[in-house]
A and B are shown apart, each in its own frame.
Chain A
Amino acid sequence: MTTITLTHFLFISAILFSLGVYAVITRRNAIMVLMGIELILNSANINFLAFSRYSGLNIEGQMAAIFVIILAAAEAAIALAIVLNIYKRFNTVNVDEISLLKD
């Protein structure tokens, strides 16, 4: 039985990050994009916790993780409000159809 090392955590984190990024890039639905962002944030959280456990960051890493969670909650609230407004304006939440930046 191999011991679980920092590398494993980082590996998991990297996969999660990649999945998050993949979701952000490929999903058409704005809600799904937001969920991808949550994944990325969570991968970052894992990193914080892993480093706090294995390299003497101690409590500060966990504090940062909690901070990120709070931030993510706030971010989700604002982002969902934006999505709601977008929906009201364009009657869709498909990010492909919302290309105002192009013009």
Chain B
Amino acid sequence: MTTELTIALAILLLPLVSFILLIFTGKRYNEKSGLVGTAFLGADLLLSLYILFAKIPSEAKVWDFTFTWIDFHSFVNNVPLKLDIGIMVDNLTAVMLVVVTLISFLVHLFSLAYMKGDIRYSRYYANLGLFTFSMLGIVITNNYLLMYVFWELVGLSSYLLIGHWYEKKSASDAAKKAFLVNRVGDLGFFIGIMIVWMQFSTLTFDGIFSSIQNGNIPFNSNTWLTAAGLLIFCGAVGKSAQFPLHVWLPDAMEGPTPVSALIHAATMVAAGVYLVARTFPMLTADALLYIAYIGAITAFIAATIAIAQNDIKKILAYSTISQLGYMVMGLGVGAYTAGVFHLVTHAAFKAGLFLASGSVIHAMHHALHQVNDHHTDAQDIRSMGGLKNKMPVTFWTMMIFTLAISGVPLTSGFLSKDEILAGTLAFSKFSGHTIIPIIGFLVAGLTAFYMFRMMIVVFFGDHVDRNRADHLHESPRVMTVPLIILAALSFFAFYSFNPISASHGWFFENVTTPTVVVPESVSATSTEEFVEEVHHQHTLAMILSVSVAGLGILIAFATYYWKKISADAVADALKPLYNFFSRKWYFDELYDATVVAATIGVARLLAWFDSVIIDGIVNGAASVTRLGSVISGKFDSIVVDGMVNFTAYSAGFFGMLLRTIQTGKLQTYIVFALIGLMVLLALYI
């Protein structure tokens, strides 16, 4: 193993060490555990940066270390049956390592103040370590087997973190919901892996892709190849909260806000997008089309719901789903680099948005506590307002994040969003699916609108309660520093020196679309043609995206700042639509009525079957046995005992009879002896 790969392995293992250390010693050194976890992640971040700066200029396409874990010593279709596992670092992995460790480090840092005095402070940091470890495992592994293992570990650790305050019913429910909904997607992922294993007898990405390239296709059918790709995509649908499994993400807001920043920006939800990116070479045109539509639908649904939410974290949650839909859509239309790029830029500004909202909530909690108000919801944007002057750092950083997510020029979000939109335009040109770019631009406008709605309501105007306003203060330095770092990373300069196009930045130069290996007949448009077309569409995409974003921002200001348009009047006029959006398209109700009700119904049926049929059989068997033993008992006590007793009785009877002879008088015996003698004599003489 090379030095670089050893360092990569160390990156993977450091958070695990942090987790083990904190889980065992956390109780004793409760106060110190936050610093320990943060120090570990800081070291991890430095190592990741080293790997990134070593990998990008490196000539090697990929650093790979594989070893045979299990050798079955048998052959299937002349292919040796063995399980190879290992780690690899290519440019995508190197970037992801930095993204994950950076966001995780900043979240650790932010939590030092945010989680101060929490009842399970050390447990919280231990779980953050476990979570980071799991996520790093997903990006660093070179096979589906380990990926699935880490995939499930992410599910577990997200369960632990979302349910951190498990005394709250809503938090423990949300944790369960996240875990269970993810399991639905993971089932598909698992079946996909099984199809791949059946056909290729290997689970390493390299092995699978080279096998497909050599014309080896599951069951010799392109349909099966599409199915395998889509089943693996199912895993991404669960983890990345795509329609129809997006319902867990908003509920996951029950976890501590820094956790939301970690889960919903850089780690868990990014895992799904990363999975699609890794699987990209084996996705057929049909599979990609399906993925693009799923992404577009998700982006649209989530954006419409976000408009009608009043909880600051719920707005951000739906904007996350919407942006994830964007990334998936980007990958689906073939804009591979754009999708991954959006994942990276989004990780920075969405983590920033969550942390900034955490800062706001922190301040609100503090103020509400000061005025002894325990009824007002500290997360409801309607009970905020006017925070601009109270919390300047939070305001300005959050403004930058909002500009970035809205796709305003000079920000990172503008670059990545633009590339995706150009990709959708190019896609529609080749395939004729014009609905996808339409949704893309519509969602861009909606995003700008609801994000600025949130910003204006929270930060502008006057605070709703003058009394409370006096108690609002800026958060401590340890919370604002991560915000400033993330705000800096939301500018274009870190990704491309050209502020209007990222296509010649280091990211696009180095994270390139992998070679597609599916057969010619079912593959999507070739990468060269596609990239060429994206260049043609770029200017149009830029103009359109800036104008829809500007329109969205303008409407937001007109409605909530200048009050030219009455939001209430619009909501009243479109009451059914507004309700439909604010009730989240009734997805939860729909699932409660169908999936949950059906599950409970089946469970009831099974319980009935268990308690009536199974228990009946068992009880019946018991009764029959009991009856048999009663009969056997009666037979024993009457017939067998009767025979024994009869024997004894008859012996006793004859004994009684014979004992009369036994008088004990010698003379009687002599008489008998004489009589006997006489009888004998009489017989013989």
A residues with CB within 8 A of B: 21, 24-26, 33, 95-96, 99-103
- Indicate which residue in B662, B667, B671, B674 contacts A95 across the interface (CB closer than 8 Å): B667
Q: List 8 A-B contacts (CB under 8 A).
A: A25-B667, A25-B670, A26-B667, A33-B667, A95-B667, A99-B663, A99-B665, A102-B663
B664 contacts A by Cβ under 8 Å: yes
A99-B669 Cα distance, complex, nearest whole Å:
12
B666 contacts A by Cβ under 8 Å: yes
B residues with CB within 8 A of A: 662-667, 670-671, 674
B342 CB to closest chain A CB, in angstroms? 114
**What residues of B have a CB within 8 angstroms of the CB of A102 in the complex?**
662-665
B113 CB to closest chain A CB, in angstroms? 105
Say yes or no: B664 contacts A95, CB within 8 Å.
no
A21-B663 Cα distance, complex, nearest whole Å:
19
**What residues of B have a CB within 8 angstroms of the CB of A21 in the complex?**
670, 674
The winner among A24, A26, A100, A103 for most chain B CB atoms within 10 A is A24
The winner among A21, A95, A99 for most chain B CB atoms within 10 A is A99
A86 CB to closest chain B CB, in angstroms? 12
A98-B665 Cα distance, complex, nearest whole Å:
7
A90 CB to closest chain B CB, in angstroms? 13
**What residues of A have a CB within 8 angstroms of the CB of B667 in the complex?**
24-26, 33, 95
**What residues of B have a CB within 8 angstroms of the CB of A100 in the complex?**
664
Nearest B residue to A28, CB-CB: B667
Say yes or no: B666 contacts A101, CB within 8 Å.
yes
A100-B662 Cα distance, complex, nearest whole Å:
11
Say yes or no: B664 contacts A103, CB within 8 Å.
yes
A21-B677 Cα distance, complex, nearest whole Å:
13
Besides A24-B667, A101-B665, 20 new A-B residue pairs in contact (Cβ under 8 A), listed by A number: A21-B670, A21-B674, A24-B670, A25-B667, A25-B671, A25-B674, A26-B667, A95-B665, A95-B666, A95-B667, A99-B663, A99-B664, A100-B664, A101-B662, A101-B664, A101-B666, A102-B662, A102-B663, A102-B664, A102-B665
A101-B669 Cα distance, complex, nearest whole Å:
11
Nearest A residue to B667, CB-CB: A25
A61 CB to closest chain B CB, in angstroms? 24
**What residues of A have a CB within 8 angstroms of the CB of B662 in the complex?**
101-102
Question: What 7 A-B pairs are tightest by C-beta distance, nearest first?
Answer: A102-B664, A99-B664, A101-B664, A25-B667, A99-B665, A25-B671, A25-B670
A96-B662 Cα distance, complex, nearest whole Å:
13
Nearest A residue to B665, CB-CB: A99
A85 CB to closest chain B CB, in angstroms? 16
The winner among B662, B664, B671 for most chain A CB atoms within 10 A is B664
B664 CB to closest chain A CB, in angstroms? 3
Nearest A residue to B666, CB-CB: A95
A78-B52 Cα distance, complex, nearest whole Å:
128
A103-B665 Cα distance, complex, nearest whole Å:
11
**What residues of A have a CB within 8 angstroms of the CB of B663 in the complex?**
99, 102
Nearest A residue to B664, CB-CB: A102
**What residues of A have a CB within 8 angstroms of the CB of B666 in the complex?**
95, 101
Nearest B residue to A25, CB-CB: B667
A42 CB to closest chain B CB, in angstroms? 18
B665 CB to closest chain A CB, in angstroms? 6
**What residues of B have a CB within 8 angstroms of the CB of A101 in the complex?**
662, 664-666
A36 CB to closest chain B CB, in angstroms? 10
Nearest B residue to A103, CB-CB: B664
Nearest B residue to A96, CB-CB: B665
A99 CB to closest chain B CB, in angstroms? 3
A7-B298 Cα distance, complex, nearest whole Å:
145
Nearest B residue to A24, CB-CB: B670
**What residues of B have a CB within 8 angstroms of the CB of A25 in the complex?**
667, 670-671, 674
A69-B665 Cα distance, complex, nearest whole Å:
27
A33-B664 Cα distance, complex, nearest whole Å:
16
**What residues of A have a CB within 8 angstroms of the CB of B670 in the complex?**
21, 24-25
**What residues of B have a CB within 8 angstroms of the CB of A26 in the complex?**
667
A71-B599 Cα distance, complex, nearest whole Å:
112
**What residues of A have a CB within 8 angstroms of the CB of B671 in the complex?**
25
**What residues of A have a CB within 8 angstroms of the CB of B665 in the complex?**
95-96, 99, 101-102
**What residues of B have a CB within 8 angstroms of the CB of A96 in the complex?**
665
**What residues of A have a CB within 8 angstroms of the CB of B674 in the complex?**
21, 25
A33 CB to closest chain B CB, in angstroms? 8
A21 CB to closest chain B CB, in angstroms? 7
B258 CB to closest chain A CB, in angstroms? 101
Nearest A residue to B674, CB-CB: A21
A35-B511 Cα distance, complex, nearest whole Å:
140
B264 CB to closest chain A CB, in angstroms? 103
A96-B666 Cα distance, complex, nearest whole Å:
9
A79 CB to closest chain B CB, in angstroms? 12
A71-B671 Cα distance, complex, nearest whole Å:
24
A100-B665 Cα distance, complex, nearest whole Å:
8
**What residues of B have a CB within 8 angstroms of the CB of A95 in the complex?**
665-667
B660 CB to closest chain A CB, in angstroms? 11
**What residues of B have a CB within 8 angstroms of the CB of A33 in the complex?**
667
**What residues of B have a CB within 8 angstroms of the CB of A24 in the complex?**
667, 670
A16 CB to closest chain B CB, in angstroms? 16
**What residues of A have a CB within 8 angstroms of the CB of B664 in the complex?**
99-103
B267 CB to closest chain A CB, in angstroms? 100
A40 CB to closest chain B CB, in angstroms? 11
Nearest A residue to B659, CB-CB: A102
Nearest B residue to A101, CB-CB: B664
**What residues of B have a CB within 8 angstroms of the CB of A99 in the complex?**
663-665
B465 CB to closest chain A CB, in angstroms? 113
A33-B667 Cα distance, complex, nearest whole Å:
9
B154 CB to closest chain A CB, in angstroms? 94
A40-B373 Cα distance, complex, nearest whole Å:
133
B431 CB to closest chain A CB, in angstroms? 119
A25-B662 Cα distance, complex, nearest whole Å:
16
